[in-house]
Structure formats: structure tokens, C-alpha cells
Structure 1
Amino acid sequence: MSTRTLIDAPGPAAPSYAGVGALLVATLRRDRRRLLIWVLALGGVSVYSTVALGSVYPTAADRQARAAVVDTPAGILLSGPGYGIPDGYTLGAMIANELSLSITIAVAVMSIQLVVRHTRAEEESGRADLILAGAVARRAPLHTALLMAGLADLAVAVIVAAGLIGSGLTALDSVALATGCALTGLVFAGVAAVSAQLVGHARTAAGAAFAVLGAAASIRGVGDLVQDGGSALSWFSPIAWAQQTRAFVDLRWPPLLLSAVVAALLALVAVRLSGRRDVGAGLLPPRRGRAAASPLLSGVAPLLVRLQRGAIAGWVLALLLAGVVFGSLHDSATQMVAGNPRLAEAFTVEDGASLADSFAAATASYFGLLTAGFAVASVLRLRSEETAGRAELLLSAPLDRRRLLASVLAVTGGAAALLLAAAGLGSGLASAVVAGDVTSVGRGLGAALVHLPAVLVSTGFTALLLGLAPRLAGLAWALLVYAVLAGVFGPLLGLPDRALRLSPFGWVPAVPAEAVDVGSLAGLTLVAAVLGVLAAMGFRRRDIPA
């Protein structure tokens, strides 16, 4: 037999799972901190929410007042089909209706990010080529990503179930609720795996999966609005399958079987599709671009706007809808707060302020915190550009580093103002329709936009970490997490003012319940400017990437 024959002779095909074990160990080690934060955060939120809701609504009358708010169109959109409301709203039913949706969506987001990060993003960066050059099967990275998502979802389910059981809720219903959240996460892990095979870029793959998640949430909400307890339309949403278990009310297990079957089918489809494409390419051909770039792309800032236009548009729409929902709850939520002394004490900002104004100020603070989350993610995109090597290409042109960072901060600040304006406008318009008061529009806009200086401080703090210690830039999320805990739970826990003011949002006046404090807002703006200058100095002096 000739040498040529030996070379051309096909060798034994490597099994599709070759290298999965080694890859799984490596990815678990690489993402151990990220996974730990996700698991502990979701488990902690479930435990804390159970304890807090039990203390805020200790009596049946208090819980029934809460049920009156949930049993409204806006309440159903934000929670669930409303099982257990007419028969007596128990703490378990409250958790199943109101907390499970948030946990389920969070687990789905985690699963999407994990799968895209370890499939399409690895191919886009070129690391997948190095991995597949070894004794690793072609589909091993996809198998590893799905296993990672499954292990993460299982860990969240165990922590959430243990937390609910430890809080005094029924064990079997707690396990069912946690299992439903985990299986929904697996469904969207499969969605992300399929989208990663279809398109050639990580951002597009993640965006497509998140679009499916958004559509599922919308279908669930509309379906539950059509009929009490959910309609036939609700069953077209994987999110509804978890809620249809009716935990703590009338436990049913069959809907979870549907989630398991769909998750398995999506994973199988993704595996089949992965063998039909080249590494680094998607099955769908990319759209051909224009021969010449638009004049609007001649500068750094327009380029950044174009790169983030999808994210900005999505955030604007989400905050506009959130504002409409909160504004439509104006009357019913105010009545609920008035009927609960502890909530009334927590919502009342200062003596003489009406509960309506206090509620408007509280909802505006949520808009500010959400906008700060967008701002932190927007600035951290520059770090992603560094690690991917694209920032070096930009800076190899006659582009000053300070100008690049300033453009990032300017685009982020402008987008943050747009997001707050959309949320305030939606809240003001909805409140004006419900209350019949046109002045609610101006109050809603003012209550939201007054948080812009605090958002800019969060933006500047993120840029400072990026400029001085880029490897620690992710710690910017820690400031936001503290701001959320202090802003949302601080009044209920009775935290002192000095603890609240460790967050930039602790210095924002609660407009319209309070008068505008120009000094505090000016001080926050000055702090944001100083942080931006220091960040530019650090960014100019350090290596790219570092």
C-alpha cells in the first residue's frame, strides 16, 4: 500500500462527544465566578422576597389587597395568570404569581448568555479554531455549552427550592416552581443554540434569542389577559408552561413535561444544524452591505450609535412599556399602599406628600436603576472591543484614546437620557389617562429625568474602572446591585440615610413628592465629570488591551 493511499484512507470517525469532558471542566473553571453570582443572586432574591413579602403582608386582608392590584390587566402582564386570587391570596400563591416570572426570565437570560458565549462567541473570536485543532469533536463545544446551561439551571433550581422550603413554603410546590424555572431556562438554551447555528455573529445570535424570549413573555401576558387562568394563546409560550403548574394553588406536573420535550428537540435541532455549516459561519448568509459607507459613519460617535442602535431601540421600547404599565397602576397601587400601614410608611417620602406622588417617585427610581444597568453594559462594551482586538484597529488610525472614551461616554449619556424620557413619558401619559390629569405627563417626565445625574455617576464609575483597572471593570455591577438593594428594599428595611447615600441614587430627590434639589443634582453631575476625566487619564496611559 502506497504512502498516498495511507494518507487518503479515512480513519475512524471521532465520537461526537470527544473532548466534552475536558471542555466542560475548562469552561466551568473559566466561568465559575459568573455562575456563582447568578446562582447566589437568584437564590438570594427568592429567599429574601419570600421573607419580605411575608412580613409586609402578614394578614389575609393585606394579601387580598395585594391581590386586587395583581388582578388587573397591568398586574397580570407583570406577574402571571392569577391563580389563587379569588380563593384567598396566600404567600405561596403570591410567590408563584409574582416572583416566578422574574426568576424564570432571569434563568432564561442566563442560559442564553452561556450558550452564545461558549458557541458563537468562541467561533467569532477564533478560539474555537484552536480548540477544534486538538482531539475535540466538531460538535463538542455545542454539547459543552448545553451541558453548562443545564448544570447552571439545575444549580439555580436547587438553591431556589431550598430557599423556598427553608422559608416555610410547601416542599413539593417549591420543587415544582423551581423545576419549572430551570426547564424554561433549558428551552431558551436550546433557542440560543439554534440561533447560534443560523447567524454568524454572537450579538446577532443573542439578539435573536432574546427576541424570542420577549415574544414568549408578550404572548404569555396577552394570553393570560384574554381569559382568567390563561387561554389557549398562553400555551404557545414556554414561560406559561412553568406558570401552568399552579404551584401552591393546584399543583400540576404535566406542563413541565412539555418544557422538557421542547428543550430536548431544540438541542437536537441545534446539533443537527451544527454539522451543516463551516466553523465561524452561519447557515443564513449575511446581508450584503453598501459599497460606500454613509457620511453619518465618518466619526467615532456615529459608529458607536450604529453599533448600539438595536440595543438602544430595545431598551427604549421596554422602558416605554414599563412606564405605561406602572402609570396604569396609579390608582389601584395607591389604594393598596394606603390600606397597608407598613407600605404607606415606606412609600411616604416626606410629611405632606401624597401617596400618589410618592408612588410616582418610587416607580421613577426603578426607571433610573434600569437605565443605569444599560449604561454600565454600554461602557463595558468598550472592554469587549479591546479583548476582541477591534479597539486596536480603531486606535491604529489617527484617533486619540481620550476621544474614543469620550465618545463612548457621550453616546451612553445621550442614550440614558432618551431611555429615561421614554419611561417618564409612558408613565405620565398612562397616569394622565387613568387619573384624568394632564399635568401627570410633566410630573412623570420630571420624576424620571431627575435620575440622569445618578446614572451618569454610575457611567463614570464604570469608565474609571475601565481606565485604571480594566480586569476589574465588572465590579461596576457591584455598585448597581447595591443601588438596587438600597433603593428597592432600603425603605422597607429602614436603612439609615448614610447607608442609602452610599449609592448615587440616594442623593436624587424623590420628585414629585419632594422639591428638586439643584445642589444634589449639580454635585452628582460634577462627580460624574471628575470620574470621566480620571477615566480618560487612565485609559490614555495603560496598554491596549490590558
Structure 2
Amino acid sequence: MTLLWQRLRRDWLQLTLWIVGTMGLALAGLSGAASTYGSEQERTALLATVMANPVILLFRGLPSGPDEHAFIVFLLMPFLVMMAAFMSSFLAVRHTRGDEEAGRLELVSATTAGRALPTVATIVHGLLANVVLGVLVAVAFLGGGAPPEGSLLAGFTAACGGLAFLGVALFAAQLMRTSRGANSLAVWVLVVTFFIAGIGNALGTPSDDLTHMESSWLTWLSPFGWAENTRAFDENLWWPALLCLAAFVVLAGAALALQTARDLDASIIPERRGRAAARPALSSPTALVTRLATGSTIGWMAGAFFAGALSTSLGSVVNEMGSDNPAVAEMLKALSAEADLEQAVVVVFFTMVGLLAACAGVQTVARARQEEAHGTAEPVLASPVQRVRWLADFVVVGFVAIVLTCMAAFVGAWAGAAGKDNGSDLTSDAFVAAWGQVIAASVFLVLTALIFTLAPRWTIPLGWTLVTAAIVFGLFGPLLGLPEWVTNLSPFSVAPVPSNGDVDLRGMWWLVLAIGVGAAASLAFMRRRELASAG
């Protein structure tokens, strides 16, 4: 009980942000969908459009009819599960492999708690967090006038999805030697299973009236697919959510068995042995930071290339869809504020690229906190390297990661536009959207650096929370009916975009000012503060 209380005290603010944010997404979806797709005719038309172009299902749930609340679940369920999954993954790694790296687990294990009890406390902690999240999601639907059974099922499904990824992260923490590796493995499993569910839905069989989709077998390989197949407010199937619970039980049990069997500070997958002597390319602190960020940057670039290719290759299809279905046209115009549909598609997809670029930047600066907490920053700073130079290296490398991510998206857009009659115009639009998202993503880079200097222990949770909130406001704000001023709080919403052959600068100068002030302030504060240990 003492261990559990310690974890709750340590995480109360982070969990509050995740749980309230997930509930807020459900509430916003209820009000936004009611105003944007108020009639059953509009919802039926949009579902028919989805069946005609299954690629949309890569980023949405499983269509389960035109009922208002079933339609909201179609729009939101994958993202409710995703937020629960991120919350659970970070929680699991933080209190298992993270505590082990920091030396806290060794101290606890030396007491009467033993080896297994800290992991049991983490499992109970994650279980309680997801129960609260599920209850509040159900309350959000009930408060919006949704039927009780569907509301309870929606909340139960979101909680079960989070628990499935709690199990994934607990198991990853046993496999990998570092918390960085465990978090990376858990996040990659999350991303891959998200797209497996989307591809499985896209390969499914639509109903004759084009309002339902029967997912393919591929969807059943993913916790997201299990969650979507509960079909809340339509068939109300509870048993697919139980598959998420079964995965949690199996993975958590396996993690607990491995924790008690392996040596402390060891891992199932051993670390790769390093060289006896560093290469000449690692002769500077900048080169060291570059080496640390290379793997993750390549991963973000790969995702950005895919999004960029879709942004131009799908333009003509969506243009045809928009002419047949005004609801699609209005949706894209609301998301991008562009009149031309093909241009709107480019802007929407590059907003997603901006998210990936922001993640690349935030993750790079977060490594500075990890290096500091793990004690590996101290030997570097004991050399002639100054604190300001050390942090500046992470900021510069993070900016390069942002630029490379957006460049990869532009290359993908160029490849997708090759051979099209208006390929040069689409490529030009993609270039403008790419550098606009470089500016937007850089805001999160300097904000994370500023948090690192002022409140180092909040660097990782608060940095990722800001990105999550911004993408919800920026990408889903118009669809959810949020006020314009709320949507414009997201840098993604006010970044420069192409507009009828010209460039709409929108809030570019404000973003540039924020970047300059944030970068200067973070470096100035870094000059004055001492190293902060893990805590």
C-alpha cells in the first residue's frame, strides 16, 4: 500500500492531464459531431464516402451505422484508446525500468517488499488509472445524452485498450536494458498496431447500404481492432474488449515472472557492446547528441515520408469525393481553411507531418533530461563543455531532426505527385506546407527546452502533453466544433500554408518570435541552474 501511495503522489498531475484530456476529447467529440454532422443524412453520406475510399479508415475507427453516437465512436474510439495507451505505457516504464535505472528499485528490493512487489504496485497503479479514465469517458457520453449501455461500453473499451498497452510496456521494460529502449519499443508497438487495425478496416467488407464495415482478419491482430469491434451504440459487443484484458493479464504475468527471474539491472535482450575507442566522428559533444538522436529521427522521417506521399497521391481521389459529397468538402475545408480540395488535403496531411516533426524535436530535447537523470551528462559537463553549449547541442540537433522529418515528407509528396497533370503545383504546395510545419514544430522544441531548464523533472511528461493537446486542438478542433480562438492556440493551426498559388503567412511572425524568445530564455536559464538528479 505504501508503494502504491508513493506512485499516486508522484504521478497525480501527469495522470490528471492524461485522464482529463481523454475525457475532454470525448466531450468535444459529442458536441462537435452534433453540430457538424447534425442530420442522419449527412452522416450516412459521409459513411458512404468512407466506403468508397477505405484509405480514410487508416485514421478512423470502424463504421457502425449512422446513429449519432455510433458515428462519434467511429470518429474518436481509436484516439481515446491511443491516449489511454500512451498514459499507460509511460506509467509502466517509469515505475519499472525507469526506477531500476535510477537505482530506486534496488533500494526498495532490499526491504521487505522484495523483487516482485514494486511491479505488482505498478500493475495496480496502472489498473486504477485506466479504471478512472474509463469511468470518466462513460460519464462524458452519459452527460451528452448517450444511451447507458453504449456509454458504459465505450468507457470500458477505452480502459481495456489502455490496459493492453500497460501490459505491452511492462513486458518491454523486461526486454530492454534502458527506459529509453523500453519506451521506444512500447511506442512502436502502439503505432504499428494502430496502422494494422486501420489497414484491416480498409480491407474489410462494406454492407449493402454502405453504413457498416465488416473488418478483415488483420484487424483482429491489434488491440485497436478489438476495441473498434465492440461497436458501441450499435451492436454493443463486450467480448472483443475482453481480448484486451486477456492480453493485459498474459503480458503483465509474463513481465512479473521475468522480473523475479532475471538479475537486477539486467535485461532479456542484452545491450550491444560498444567500441573500445570512439570513432573520430564522436569527438565532439554535438556529434554525441547526433548519435543519440539518429535512430529516433530515422523513424519519424519514415512516418513523414508516408504521410507526404499520401498528401499528393490522394488529392485527385478526394477531389472527386468532395464533388460527390459536400460533407467531405466541408470537413476538409474546416480542417485546412482552404477552398481548393487538393490543396486542403496537402495541408491536412502536412499538419500530421508537423506532429511527427514536433515529436522528433521533443524526443531529442527529452534525451537531455534522460542523460542528466542517468548521470551520463555529468562526465560531459566535467570537461570543458559548458552547460549552455551542452543544451544548445540538443536544441540544434532537435531542429535538424525537425527539418529532416519535414524534408522526408516533402520528398514523399514529390514522389506522390510524379506523373500528375498538376504535379508541380502540388509539389510547390507541399514545399510551403513543409517549411510552415518546421516553424510550428520548432515551437515545441524550444518549449520543451524551456521546461527542461525551469522544471527538469517535468520535461518529458509536460513536453509530450503539450504536443498531444496541440494536435487535438489543431487537427480535430474544427471537426469537434471548438471555438476558433481555442483552435488557434495550436501552432499547427496558425503555421504558414499554401493558398491559391500564394503563401498565407497566418501567425508565422508570432511563431518565430516565440521560438526566438523561448530559445534565448532556455539557454539563459541553463547558464544559472545546477544539474538535477532523477526524482
TM-score normalised by the shorter chain: which range applies?
A: 0.7 to 0.9
Alignment of 1:174-193 (within 5 A): 174-193=151-170
Alignment of 1:240-389 (within 5 A): 240-331=225-316, 333-334=318-319, 335-336=321-322, 339-340=326-327, 343=331, 346=334, 349=337, 353-389=339-375
Match of 1:46 in 2: 26
SS at 1:368 equivalent: helix
Equivalent residue in structure 1 for 2:134, among 157, 174, 177: 157
Cα RMSD after superposing both structures: 3.0
Q: In 2, are the aligned partners of 1:56 and 1:342 still within 8 Å (CA)? A: no
Letter in 2 for 1:293: A
Letter in 1 for 2:88: S
SS at 1:245 equivalent: coil
Match of 1:3 in 2: none
Match of 1:6 in 2: none
Letter in 2 for 1:447: A
Match of 2:496 in 1: 509
Cα distance change of structure 1 residues 469 and 289 upon mapping to structure 2, 3 Å threshold:
closer
Are residues 1:232 and 2:217 paired?
yes
Equivalent residue in structure 1 for 2:521, among 530, 534, 539: 534
Alpha-carbon shift at residue 408 of structure 1 (Å): 0.9
Q: In 2, are the aligned partners of 1:220 and 1:237 still within 8 Å (CA)? A: yes
Q: Distance in 2 between matches of 1:325 and 1:375?
A: 23
Q: Distance in 2 between matches of 1:506 and 1:255?
A: 36
Alpha-carbon shift at residue 31 of structure 1 (Å): 0.3
Q: Distance in 1 between matches of 2:231 and 2:335?
A: 31
Letter in 2 for 1:37: L
Are residues 1:195 and 2:172 paired?
yes
Match of 1:17 in 2: none
Q: Distance in 2 between matches of 1:475 and 1:242?
A: 28
Structure 1 range deviating more: 374-383 or 330-339: 330-339
SS at 1:221 equivalent: helix
Structure 1 range deviating more: 411-420 or 162-171: 162-171
Are residues 1:140 and 2:117 paired?
yes
Letter in 1 for 2:230: T
Match of 2:146 in 1: 169
SS at 1:544 equivalent: coil
Letter in 2 for 1:296: A
Letter in 1 for 2:54: P
Match of 2:61 in 1: 80
Equivalent residue in structure 1 for 2:189, among 200, 212, 216: 212
Identical-residue share of aligned pairs (%): 33
Q: In 1, are the aligned partners of 2:495 and 2:505 still within 8 Å (CA)? A: no
Letter in 2 for 1:34: Q
Q: Distance in 2 between matches of 1:263 and 1:490?
A: 33
Equivalent residue in structure 1 for 2:41, among 61, 73, 97: 61
Alignment of 1:121-140 (within 5 A): 121-140=98-117
Match of 2:426 in 1: 440
Which residues of structure 1 form unaligned runs of 5+?
Answer: 1-20
Structure 1 range deviating more: 199-208 or 153-162: 199-208
Alpha-carbon shift at residue 55 of structure 1 (Å): 0.7
Q: Distance in 2 between matches of 1:105 and 1:490?
A: 18
Q: In 2, are the aligned partners of 1:125 and 1:388 still within 8 Å (CA)? A: yes
Letter in 2 for 1:248: F
Match of 2:198 in 1: 221
Q: In 1, are the aligned partners of 2:478 and 2:487 still within 8 Å (CA)? A: no
Cα distance change of structure 1 residues 93 and 523 upon mapping to structure 2, 3 Å threshold:
closer
Alpha-carbon shift at residue 422 of structure 1 (Å): 2.4
**TM-score, normalised with respect to structure 1:** 0.86
Letter in 1 for 2:498: V
Cα distance change of structure 1 residues 469 and 432 upon mapping to structure 2, 3 Å threshold:
same
1:410-447 Cα deviation digits (max 9, x unpaired): 10111111112223443454466787634312321221
Q: Distance in 1 between matches of 2:69 and 2:382?
A: 59
Equivalent residue in structure 2 for 1:96, among 73, 86, 93: 73
Alpha-carbon shift at residue 174 of structure 1 (Å): 2.1
Letter in 1 for 2:179: A
Q: Distance in 2 between matches of 1:538 and 1:326?
A: 40
Q: Distance in 2 between matches of 1:123 and 1:381?
A: 18
Q: In 2, are the aligned partners of 1:425 and 1:445 still within 8 Å (CA)? A: no
Cα distance change of structure 1 residues 264 and 468 upon mapping to structure 2, 3 Å threshold:
closer
Alpha-carbon shift at residue 306 of structure 1 (Å): 1.8
Letter in 2 for 1:40: V
Alpha-carbon shift at residue 52 of structure 1 (Å): 0.2
Q: Distance in 2 between matches of 1:481 and 1:226?
A: 29
Match of 1:14 in 2: none
Cα distance change of structure 1 residues 302 and 222 upon mapping to structure 2, 3 Å threshold:
same
Structure 1 range deviating more: 474-483 or 392-401: 474-483
Q: In 2, are the aligned partners of 1:460 and 1:532 still within 8 Å (CA)? A: yes
Cα distance change of structure 1 residues 163 and 347 upon mapping to structure 2, 3 Å threshold:
closer
SS at 2:497 equivalent: coil
1:364-394 Cα deviation digits (max 9, x unpaired): 3343244334423432332332233222221
Alpha-carbon shift at residue 545 of structure 1 (Å): 2.2
Cα distance change of structure 1 residues 78 and 99 upon mapping to structure 2, 3 Å threshold:
same
Q: In 1, are the aligned partners of 2:28 and 2:482 still within 8 Å (CA)? A: no
1:82-125 Cα deviation digits (max 9, x unpaired): 332xxxx2222322322111111221222111111100110011
Q: In 2, are the aligned partners of 1:183 and 1:259 still within 8 Å (CA)? A: yes
Q: In 2, are the aligned partners of 1:74 and 1:325 still within 8 Å (CA)? A: no
Structure 1 range deviating more: 315-324 or 189-198: 315-324
Greater Rg by CA: 1
Letter in 1 for 2:60: S
Q: In 1, are the aligned partners of 2:365 and 2:445 still within 8 Å (CA)? A: yes
Structure 1 range deviating more: 418-427 or 245-254: 418-427
Cα distance change of structure 1 residues 64 and 331 upon mapping to structure 2, 3 Å threshold:
farther
Alpha-carbon shift at residue 488 of structure 1 (Å): 3.7
Match of 2:209 in 1: none
SS at 1:531 equivalent: helix
Letter in 2 for 1:47: L
Alpha-carbon shift at residue 127 of structure 1 (Å): 0.9
Alpha-carbon shift at residue 237 of structure 1 (Å): 1.9
SS at 1:516 equivalent: strand
Q: In 2, are the aligned partners of 1:431 and 1:441 still within 8 Å (CA)? A: yes
Match of 1:456 in 2: 442
Alpha-carbon shift at residue 172 of structure 1 (Å): 0.8
Q: Distance in 2 between matches of 1:299 and 1:232?
A: 51
Cα distance change of structure 1 residues 222 and 539 upon mapping to structure 2, 3 Å threshold:
same
1:162-206 Cα deviation digits (max 9, x unpaired): 111221222212222222222222222122222222222111122
Alpha-carbon shift at residue 469 of structure 1 (Å): 5.0
SS at 1:31 equivalent: helix
Q: In 2, are the aligned partners of 1:364 and 1:424 still within 8 Å (CA)? A: no
